[in-house]
Amino acid sequence: MPGTLRSGARPLFGAALAIALVAGAPGAHAEVPCDPTAESAFDLGAARGHNAFVCGDYVGARDVLGSVATAGDFRPATGFSVGEALDHGVPHTALLVGGRFVASAGSVFGDVVHRLPLADAVAVTADVTLRDGGAFREDPTLDLDSACRDLETTSILLAQATPTDAAPVPWYGDVRVSVSGPGTHVVRVDAADLLPPISFHLAADDASATLLLNVTGADATFAMGEIQLAGALDASRVVFNFPDATAIHGSAYGFKGTLLAPFATLDFTAGNIDGTVVARDFHQDAELHVGGLFT
């Protein structure tokens, strides 16, 4: 099933995941084995199926075709749209907000679920329309903060997976990775090497293959390029993990796959992301597409 990252006989983490979750303390994470023929049973928990899952504030959203969850405030751009690609035939939630929803002139295609009382949670003008029968629904039990802590743990654990393939970054910025066979394939890239213009050409010969790219470093930039997929590789099975990053910048870029950066502020302009975004804070005026969602 696309996005579940399952492909073989046993889990990527296995006992190591259980040990790390129980230990919980910084530096206590166990070594994570990675066998490219193994079953990779990790997932994104509450972030699965969302276009964006933000652990702080989400500011400047314009066109987000899928659903959004933000533990903090949601303050989109004027004329924004959320959830237009969701199934219009059934009731659904397009937006989850732990803080405040502050907006003017835009559309939400579905329900808006807010944790705070309506008067505290929602400050929108009459030009904001809830379509597809959408309504404001209060849910004081909404706990996106706990989900964010789980995502932080997932990012840290994924970073410990042993590389199975190489991802050299040439001086001209064209990173090529081609993997063979089923299972999870892991590469490691230093963010300091990703100097614009930078593009990734990623390929797999097996539709069940998953490609995990662990990008190390506190600051990463994706600019003036794109991620291209070839062979049987689908964006829903590509995960860029940023376990160290506190700042990620995107500009004039076509991104395909999951961007897992639960500790980082992500600024993204003039481009598009086809997949799921997990970030600490998210500032963007790019488009988010549902092709490649981690499901």
Which DSSP string do the residues of the chain spell out, in sequence order?
Answer: -TTS---SSS-SSTHHHHHHHHH-STT-PPP----TTS------GGGTT-SEEESS-EE---EE-S-EEESS-EEPPTTEEE-TTS-TTS--EEEEESS-EEESSEEEESEEEESS-HHHHEEE-TTEEEETT--EEE-TT--HHHHHHHHHHHHHHHHTSPP-S-----TT-EEEEEE-SSSEEEEEEEGGG-PSS-EEEEEESSTT-EEEEEEESSEEEEEEEEEEEEET--GGGEEEE-SS-SEEEEEEEEEESEEEEEEEEEEEESSEEES-EEEEEEEE-SEEESTT---
**Tens-place pLDDT, residues 227-256:** 999 999 999 999 999 999 999 999 999 999
Residue 178 confidence (pLDDT) above 90: yes
Is pTM beyond 0.85? Reply is: yes
Residue 39 confidence (pLDDT) above 90: no
pLDDT band at 200 (very low <50, low <70, confident <90, very high): very high
Lowest mean pLDDT among 14-23, 100-109, 214-223, 256-265: 14-23
Would you state the pLDDT for residue 41?
52
